[in-house]
């Protein structure tokens, strides 16, 4: 409810900045403070990952407000990140750092576009209100579509690469259930990301004046353009950001690989 009630720029900050700081602290505590206690904290992290993925995607599916949908979907993304946290390794920490970059860039751009649309009047933008946006403001509609596809994990975007490394970090430690839950959660998220894209690009406007008052400042255009460029360029050439993420992970401490207790068990 805090996400929904706050102003959109504040919501964007909470969905990105607060989440980044929280996961950086969590990874550091687990890898440096409890590297040999994986048998204790891994089951807790696994349970939280599954619960947040299921809860976030389920509640987001029922939303008609774009802001509420983005807010609740951020819960699911927290669950995706926990899949790599579970690994308790430097690779897992690097995957967390990389995905936080992908998620933050994409989400900030999405909330920036939403804030510009909200300026025309209502603070609550419904998904149906975006019908026909492409025919009037094609740049804004395409930018938001690319951001949503990245959050979905569509190939060719930064979000896809981020989810790939989250899965790789868990699979490298013999964990398969959490990656499967992550993939299924991403498939479910198509049920609330794609309808927004379809409303903007495939449906006609409700009236001749619809979206005419929607304007984007030069600052907003520049910020969104840079974010979208990062989503597409790093989605095709992720080597640089990935190397930086792995290097950053080393500063969080090196985890001790967990002791295997069964290939397909959540430990």
User: Angle 92-224-63 (CA atoms, 0-180°, nearest 5)?
Assistant: 75
The pLDDT of residue 27: 87
Spatial separation of the C-alpha atoms in residues 257 and 64, rounded to whole Å: 43
φ and ψ at 79, to 5 degrees? Answer: -65, -40
Of the candidates 253, 100, 86, 242, the one whose C-alpha atom is nearest the C-alpha of residue 170 is: 86
Render the burial of 220-258: b for 16+ CB within 10 Å, e for the rest.
bbebbeebbebbeebbeebeebbeebbebbeebbebebb
DSSP three-state, residue 32:
helix
The pLDDT of residue 231: 94
DSSP letters spanning 207-219: STTTTTT----HH
Instruction: Tell me the pLDDT of the chain (267 aa) as tens digits.
Output: 455 555 666 666 666 777 888 888 888 888 887 877 888 899 999 999 999 999 999 999 999 888 889 888 999 999 999 999 998 888 999 999 999 999 999 998 888 888 777 765 555 778 888 888 888 888 889 999 999 999 999 999 999 999 999 999 999 998 999 999 999 999 999 999 999 999 999 888 776 566 667 777 787 788 889 999 999 999 999 999 899 888 888 776 544 444 443 444 444
Do 52 and 148 form a contact (C-beta atoms < 8 A)?
Answer: no
Do 205 and 104 form a contact (C-beta atoms < 8 A)?
Answer: no
The pLDDT of residue 164: 95
């Amino acid at each position: 409810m805090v996400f929904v009630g706050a102003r959109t720029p504040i919501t964007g900050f909470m969905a990105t900045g607060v989440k980044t700081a929280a996961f950086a602290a969590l990874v550091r505590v687990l890898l440096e403070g409890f590297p040999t206690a994986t048998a204790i904290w891994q089951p807790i992290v696994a349970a939280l990952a599954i619960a947040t993925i299921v809860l976030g995607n389920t509640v987001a599916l029922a939303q008609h407000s774009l802001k509420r949908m983005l807010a609740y979907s951020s819960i699911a993304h927290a669950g995706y990140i926990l899949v790599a946290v579970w690994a308790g390794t430097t690779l897992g920490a690097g995957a967390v750092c990389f995905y936080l970059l992908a998620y933050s860039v994409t989400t900030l751009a999405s909330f920036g576009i939403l804030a510009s649309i909200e300026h025309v009047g209502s603070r609550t933008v419904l998904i149906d209100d975006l019908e026909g946006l492409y025919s009037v403001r094609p740049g804004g509609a395409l930018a938001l579509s690319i951001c949503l596809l990245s959050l979905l994990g569509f190939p060719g975007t930064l979000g896809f690469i981020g989810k790939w490394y989250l899965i790789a970090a868990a699979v490298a430690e013999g964990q398969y259930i959490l990656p499967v839950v992550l993939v299924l959660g991403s498939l479910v998220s198509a049920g609330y990301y794609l309808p927004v894209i379809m409303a903007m690009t495939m449906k006609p406007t409700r009236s001749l004046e619809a979206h005419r008052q929607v304007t984007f400042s030069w600052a907003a255009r520049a910020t969104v353009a840079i974010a979208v460029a990062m989503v597409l360029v790093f989605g095709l050439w992720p080597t640089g950001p990935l190397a930086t993420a792995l290097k950053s992970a080393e500063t969080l401490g090196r985890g001790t690989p967990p002791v295997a207790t069964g290939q397909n068990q959540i430990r």
